[in-house]
């Protein structure tokens, strides 16, 4: 697991908390911020996943040499 995967998951969690808080308090702004934070977290997590897969593929090919 790399830092982008971790940071993305944290951002998703923060976004979910904001979204729920916005729903509870009736704040559309906070709810929208939460949805945006979740989307940003997913993008960062996916980027981290791709980096990890690329690293694994490179290391796997290096082992074959």
pTM of the model: 0.85
| pLDDT for position 40 | 98
Q: Does the structure show a pLDDT above 80 at 61?
A: no
The model's pLDDT over 24-57, given as tens digits with 9 standing for 90+, comes to: 999 999 999 999 999 999 999 999 999 999 999 9
Structural domain of residue 43, as residue ranges?
3-64
* Domains in the chain, number: 1
Give the separation between CA 50 and CA 53, rounded to whole angstroms: 5
Following DSSP, what letter does each residue of 33-44 receive, concatenated? HHHHHHHHHHHH
């Amino acid at each position: 697991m790399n830092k982008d995967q971790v940071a993305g998951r944290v951002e998703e969690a923060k976004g979910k908390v904001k979204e729920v808080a916005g729903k509870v308090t009736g704040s559309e702004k906070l709810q929208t911020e939460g949805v945006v934070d979740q989307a940003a977290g997913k993008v960062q997590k996916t980027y981290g996943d791709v980096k990890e897969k690329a690293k694994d593929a490179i290391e796997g090919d290096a082992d074959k040499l």
